[in-house]
């Protein structure tokens, strides 16, 4: 690995002044593990898509350190099973289940209203849920499924919950993206990919949108003097049901072959979003991922978004379009 590659891997976004060391992978600095998670008593975490995969692992880790975790799921039955699993692994865990379907903005609004009605203070919102490489289909409101779920659902949810975060100590929003964002582009002429639909391109667009959103959110929070911080994370190549729930045909066959051979355990893949959610040394606008083997595996470190993800004009245009599509206008 040459020095410039090292700098790109460990450099800190937004000029924080703390560039990471240029070291080979096998002499990296101390790994950030679950042991680094601080005590979380009195802090409340909302995790979307917490019934399986990375969301379930994150819930287990946060509850294990005393955090109160609001686990969300589309299916109450699956959600109840997930809560039971975490409760079994973490005796005495503080958990609650609320249903949320990010592919339905009515569900997003009802979920947000429920938290407001119950006066739930949120310390950290983890925008974790997602769908991957699905066949061409639409959300309830007619949006392309991946863009509508992965980006628009979380865009609306975050805007509707921002006031519940603002009054808390050290409030954060963590949005989960993917290394696929590097292949993505935002097609404003056909955001819903109605022409020549390609599952991979639609997924990459949604993951690029996640990063554009997370970075623009931090810019707006900073400009408004808000205490809320926006961070991003990606799980590398982690073995979850995401790879099987969406893809079909040859894409699904590849996942069946690749997962056992190359994917890391979801307990490792969940660490970047958990580090972004709880570590004391993180800063708004940072992006945590798995730094090894083309960012497919490893314990969480700072990684670099693509240049396109850092395009502020693109981010502003996407933000304005997202407000129009969702009807959610941010109070900042």
Q: Annotated active-site positions, please?
A: 203
Contacts with 22 (C-beta within 8 Å, 6 or more apart), sequence order = 3, 6, 7, 10
The Cα 153–Cα 156 span in angstroms is 5
Distance (Å, whole) CA 99 – CA 67:
20
Residues in CB range of 170: below 8 A, 6 or more apart: 123, 227, 229
CA distance 250 to 255: 9
The answer to whether 281 and 226 have CB atoms below 8 angstroms apart is no
The CA–CA distances, whole Å, from 205 to 147, 240, 306 equal 7, 21, 13
Structure tokens belonging to residue 191: 């955001």
Judge contact between 69 and 45, C-beta under 8 A.
yes
| Distance of alpha carbon 221 from alpha carbon 39, whole angstroms | 27
């Amino acid at each position: 690995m040459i020095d410039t590659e090292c700098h790109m891997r460990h450099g800190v976004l937004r000029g924080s002044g703390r560039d990471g060391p240029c070291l080979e992978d096998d002499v990296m600095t101390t790994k950030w593990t679950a042991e680094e998670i601080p005590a979380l008593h009195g802090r409340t975490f909302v995790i979307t898509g917490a019934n399986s995969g990375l969301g379930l692992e994150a819930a287990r880790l946060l509850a294990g350190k005393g955090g109160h975790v609001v686990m969300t799921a589309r299916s109450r039955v699956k959600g109840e099973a997930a809560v039971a699993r975490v409760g079994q692994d973490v005796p005495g865990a503080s958990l609650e289940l609320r249903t949320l379907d990010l592919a339905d903005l009515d569900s997003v609004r009802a979920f947000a209203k429920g938290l407001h009605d119950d006066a739930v203070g949120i310390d950290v919102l983890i925008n974790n849920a997602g769908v991957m490489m699905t066949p061409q289909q639409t959300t309830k409101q007619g949006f392309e499924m991946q863009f509508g779920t992965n980006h628009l659902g979380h865009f609306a949810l975050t805007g509707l919950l921002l006031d519940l975060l603002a009054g808390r100590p050290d409030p954060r929003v963590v949005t989960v993206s993917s290394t696929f964002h590097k292949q993505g582009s935002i097609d404003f002429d056909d955001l819903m990919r109605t022409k020549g639909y390609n599952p991979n391109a639609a997924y990459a667009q949604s993951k690029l949108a996640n990063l554009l959103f997370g970075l623009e959110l931090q810019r707006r929070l900073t400009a408004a003097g808000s205490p809320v911080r926006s961070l991003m994370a990606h799980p590398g190549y982690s073995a979850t049901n995401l790879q099987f729930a969406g893809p079909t045909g040859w894409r699904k066959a590849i996942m069946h072959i690749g997962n056992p051979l190359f994917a890391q355990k979801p307990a490792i893949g969940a660490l970047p979003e958990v580090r972004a959610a709880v570590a004391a040394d993180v800063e708004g606008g940072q992006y945590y991922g798995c730094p090894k083997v083309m960012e497919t595996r490893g314990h969480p470190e700072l990684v670099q978004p693509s240049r396109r993800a850092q395009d502020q004009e693109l981010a502003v245009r996407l933000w304005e379009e997202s407000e129009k599509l969702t009807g959610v206008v941010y109070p900042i």
